[in-house]
Structure 1
């Protein structure tokens, strides 16, 4: 039986993804660095930080700047950029973090790069041209530097 905090997704080609909701795991989601989610690079498990981020919701509506919103009107975090980023890791993509050029695959979200850029689109196309085996569903082995972080200004807006 699947526990209520785990969602199993399976495609017809027998690839199973596990979405794990992390509520109390200090090792998976330590206080610092604050991360929204984690995924094994070339893996099939994505963990969402429910310990420090209590509300996630998917919304495709674009904000006034024609960019996806990171934080929604009700204070929930938008799952669309997070899941897109973490699925990139599942397909074998690493963080890009190039100076002066924001990307959805950066280790920290930027409010002006919440939708895939041309560079973000080219990388998974190249990854899909090769065989990806990945870690088994439910396998989450991380190092401290991994995990996507909220935008730089997010923590300061939460203090208000």
Structure 2
């Protein structure tokens, strides 16, 4: 076994141990995100917020972060919608929404981070580390061995399945 192979194995091992916690949180939150369009793990929260007055339906939905808000009834200064009521004069909105528990919501921020969020740096590091795992995997076994050849077939199968699922 060459020096490069030995070093790759060592780096792969210790980086793997270092990232084990990050990968566990990332994978759990990723699985939970699959169900984001359902009420899985969500609890109903009653909110009362003072927002701008005289908002239209679309602006109201944005202000209280309810997508596709639809006003069902207008009665005087009150706009009634499925989740609650908004007073156009006072700007007071009283409504119910479903939210994930605090810790789960924070975990989901891993997947939503962009360049304006501090998790952005962790995500870049995590993505680069995963690419290192991809590359270093090919130094774990000597080329030409049976296990390496099977590993290449499994890699190709993983790429193929992913491409098929992306395009169906």
TM score, norm. by length of structure 2: 0.18
Larger Rg: 2
TM score, norm. by length of structure 1: 0.19
